[in-house]
Every structure is written in C-alpha cells, then in structure tokens.
Amino acid sequence: MYIYLRKAQYHETDQMGIIHHSNYVKWMEEARIGYMDQMGFSYKKVEELGVISPVVEISVSYKKQVSFDDEIEIRVSIKKYNGISLEFNYEFFNRTKNEICTTAYSRHCFLKDGRLISVKKTIPELDHAISDCMGSKTEHTGKDPGHYRCTFCHGRIVFFPGTAETAG
C-alpha cells in the first residue's frame, strides 16, 4: 500500500463549496504516479520505454464531501495484477474530518505501438516491482502523522502539492 497526502485546494471547489467530483480522478492519477515512483519504476520511465498504461475501467463512490483545505490521505493498493492488466484500489480518508470520504478503483492495460503487451515479457523490472509491492505494507513511522514507511523499499513519504520528501 502507498499513502499519498493531499490538501484540497480552493480552485478545486465547485459552486457549492465542495471539491468537484472530477478532481477525484485527477487525485487518483497523482497517487498512482506517486506509487510507481515509490516502487522504483516511474511512469515516466515506462513511457520512455515506449509503453503506455491507459485507464480501461474506473469507478468512484463518493461517500462524504471534501471541502477546501481538508487534508486527504489517499491509500492506494494493488488489487490485482497478471502482467497484462493492473488494478488499483483507492481509499480517500479525510484526515481533517477523520472519515473515509471516497472509495475508488481503476484498471489499466499496457500498450506498445498500439498493441496490448505483457509487462512480464516486455519490462520484467516493472513486473518484479509491481509483484514485490503487492506483498508489501505501509506502516506509520510514529514520528509525525504524515510520515509513512513502505516495507518494500523503506522510503518515507510526505507529500502535499508542491512539496515532497523521501528519505531512506
């Protein structure tokens, strides 16, 4: 599991003063990209190898509202992976209000030159990174509410828009 912290921004609110529903999908992408960075195989590196990973299915369940300036913890985990398809679960926890506000799911495939590929065969390093992360956990370091350590790579993650800290 990967923990991505985000503060809800004013420009993301709608006329009702809550975070517009379209922003959750953007936040999912931010968290997913951060998770891949944490795995040690960034999405940028995947694209540099000529592979893309489009969203083929997505579902978002809105349970509670998020308001401007709320601190949101997005817990990302790999639900399923078979080398061709990668599925993520997302749980949005509002740290300001101490409640789960949203749950979501996304499924991705891998394409090279417009054709479906097997990551196991095409990018074995990424396959190993994903497989390794499926068995890892994220644990709180106990030092600060925003500091977590991945049991796979042992990196500490602290992230809000515009800032990031990673330490070994």
Measure Cα distances from 1 to 46, 89, 116, 166 in Å.
20, 9, 26, 16
Nearest alpha carbon to residue 47 among 113, 94, 96: 113
Structure tokens at 113: 């030159």
Gap between the Cα atoms of 166 and 168, Å rounded: 7
CA distance from start to end of the chain: 17
Give the pair of three-digit tokens for residue 55.
């969203």
- CA 6 vs. chain centroid, Å, equals 11
Residue 132 among the catalytic residues? no
- Catalytic amino acids? 14
